[in-house]
Amino acid sequence: MTRFALTLEFDGGAFMGLQRQAHGPSVQQAVEEAVLSVTGETVTMHAAGRTDAGVHARAMRVHVDVTKAIAPFRLMEALNARLRLAGFPIAVLASEEKPDDWHARFSCVGRRYLYRIVNRRAPLTLDKGRAWNVKGGPLDALAMHEAAQALIGKHDFTTFRSTQCQSASPVKTLDLLTVRREGGEVLIEAAARSFLHHQVRSMVGCLALVGLGHWRIEQMREALEARERQALGHNAPPEGLYFMQAIYPDEG
Amino acid sequence: MTRFALTLEFDGGAFMGLQRQAHGPSVQQAVEEAVLSVTGETVTMHAAGRTDAGVHARAMRVHVDVTKAIAPFRLMEALNARLRLAGFPIAVLASEEKPDDWHARFSCVGRRYLYRIVNRRAPLTLDKGRAWNVKGGPLDALAMHEAAQALIGKHDFTTFRSTQCQSASPVKTLDLLTVRREGGEVLIEAAARSFLHHQVRSMVGCLALVGLGHWRIEQMREALEARERQALGHNAPPEGLYFMQAIYPDEG
The DSSP line for A82-135 is HHHHTT--EEEEEEEEE-TT--TTTT--EEEEEEEEEESSSPPSTTTTTSEEE-
- B97 and B161, same domain (yes or no): no
What would the mean pLDDT of A14-24 be, rounded to a whole number?
Answer: 93
- Return the number of other C-beta atoms located less than 10 Å from residue A1's C-beta: 8
Give the pLDDT confidence of B69-87 residue by residue, as tens digits.
999 999 999 999 999 999 9
- A116 and A235, same domain (yes or no): yes
Helices A219-226, A199-211: crossing angle, 10 deg rounding: 150
Q: Is B164 on the interface with A (CB under 8 A)?
A: no
Domain stop point among A74, A106, A138: A106
Q: What is the CATH number of the domain that holds B82?
A: 3.30.70.580
| pLDDT value of position A252 | 72
| φ and ψ at residue A119, rounded to 5 degrees | -100, 90
| pLDDT value of position B209 | 97
| pLDDT value of position B148 | 98
**Is the pLDDT confidence value at B231 over 90?**
no
- Return the number of other C-beta atoms located less than 10 Å from residue B171's C-beta: 12
Residue of B nearest to A78 (CA): B122
E strands in B184-240 = 185-192
- B152 and B235, same domain (yes or no): yes
Domain stop point among A62, A81, A106: A106
Q: What's the whole-number average pLDDT of chain B?
A: 96
| φ and ψ at residue A120, rounded to 5 degrees | -160, 160
| pLDDT value of position A185 | 98
- A198 and A124, same domain (yes or no): yes
| In-domain check, residue B252 | no
| pLDDT value of position B168 | 87
Residues of chain B with Cβ-Cβ distance to A77 below 8 Å are 121
Smallest CA–CA distance, residue B161 to chain A, in Å, is 27
Q: Is A128 on the interface with B (CB under 8 A)?
A: yes
| pLDDT value of position A106 | 97
What would the mean pLDDT of B151-166 be, rounded to a whole number?
Answer: 93
Interatomic CA distance for residues A249 and A243, integer angstroms: 19
Q: Is there a contact between B103 and B91 (Cβ–Cβ < 8 Å)?
A: no
- A172 and A217, same domain (yes or no): yes
Give the pLDDT confidence of B128-148 residue by residue, as tens digits.
999 999 998 899 999 999 999
Which listed residue (B11, B52, B100, B127) is catalytic? B52
**Is the pLDDT confidence value at B252 over 80?**
no
| pLDDT value of position B171 | 97
| In-domain check, residue B228 | yes
| pLDDT value of position A22 | 85
What would the mean pLDDT of A5-17 be, rounded to a whole number?
Answer: 97
Q: Count interface pairs A-B at CB distance under 8 A.
A: 58
Is there a contact between B80 and A123 if contact means CB atoms under 8 Å apart?
yes
CA A95 to chain centre: 20
What would the mean pLDDT of A225-236 be, rounded to a whole number?
Answer: 91
Q: What is the CATH number of the domain that holds A156?
A: 3.30.70.660
What would the mean pLDDT of A33-57 be, rounded to a whole number?
Answer: 97
What would the mean pLDDT of B152-164 be, rounded to a whole number?
Answer: 94
Q: Is there a contact between B29 and B46 (Cβ–Cβ < 8 Å)?
A: no
Q: Is A185 on the interface with B (CB under 8 A)?
A: no
Backbone dihedral region for residue B47 (phi beyond 0: left; psi -120 to 50: alpha; all else: beta) = beta
Is there a contact between B11 and A126 if contact means CB atoms under 8 Å apart?
yes
Range of the domain at B70: 2-106
| In-domain check, residue A118 | yes
- A157 and A79, same domain (yes or no): no
Query: Which residue among A9, A93, A125 places its CB closest to the CB of B11?
Result: A125
Smallest CA–CA distance, residue B163 to chain A, in Å, is 30
Domain stop point among B81, B106, B131: B106
- B94 and B158, same domain (yes or no): no
Residue type at B198 in one-letter notation? H
Strands B56-66 and B46-47: antiparallel
What would the mean pLDDT of A135-144 be, rounded to a whole number?
Answer: 96
Residues of chain B with Cβ-Cβ distance to A90 below 8 Å are 125
Q: Which residues pair with A98 in a beta bridge?
A: A3
| In-domain check, residue A252 | no
Q: Is there a contact between A38 and A75 (Cβ–Cβ < 8 Å)?
A: yes
Give the pLDDT confidence of B159-170 residue by residue, as tens digits.
999 988 888 899
- A135 and A243, same domain (yes or no): yes
Residues of chain B with Cβ-Cβ distance to A122 below 8 Å are 9, 76, 80, 91-93
| In-domain check, residue A144 | yes
ipTM of model: 0.94
**Is the pLDDT confidence value at A157 over 80?**
yes
Q: Is B92 on the interface with A (CB under 8 A)?
A: yes
What would the mean pLDDT of A95-103 be, rounded to a whole number?
Answer: 97
**Is the pLDDT confidence value at A233 over 90?**
no
**Is the pLDDT confidence value at B41 over 80?**
yes
Residues of chain A with Cβ-Cβ distance to B128 below 8 Å are 11, 89
Q: Is B120 on the interface with A (CB under 8 A)?
A: yes
Q: What's the whole-number average pLDDT of chain A?
A: 96
Interatomic CA distance for residues A191 and A180, integer angstroms: 15
Nearest-Å Rg of the Cα atoms of chain A is 19
* Confidence category of residue A232, pLDDT binned at 50, 70, 90: confident
- B228 and B166, same domain (yes or no): yes
**Is the pLDDT confidence value at A87 over 90?**
yes
The count of domains in chain B is 2
Give the pLDDT confidence of A54-83 residue by residue, as tens digits.
999 999 999 999 999 999 999 999 999 999
Smallest CA–CA distance, residue A243 to chain B, in Å, is 13
Residues of chain B with Cβ-Cβ distance to A123 below 8 Å are 80, 83-84, 91
Interatomic CA distance for residues B223 and B231, integer angstroms: 5
Smallest CA–CA distance, residue A181 to chain B, in Å, is 18
Residue of A nearest to B76 (CA): A122
Q: Choose the weakest-confidence range: A129-138, A217-226, B226-235.
A: B226-235
- A128 and A180, same domain (yes or no): yes
Smallest CA–CA distance, residue A93 to chain B, in Å, is 6
Which listed residue (A52, A65, A127, A250) is catalytic? A52
- B37 and B50, same domain (yes or no): yes
Say if residue A113 carries a ligand binding annotation: yes
- For the question of residue B156 being annotated catalytic, the response is no
Give the percent of chain A with pLDDT over 90.
92
- A47 and A73, same domain (yes or no): yes
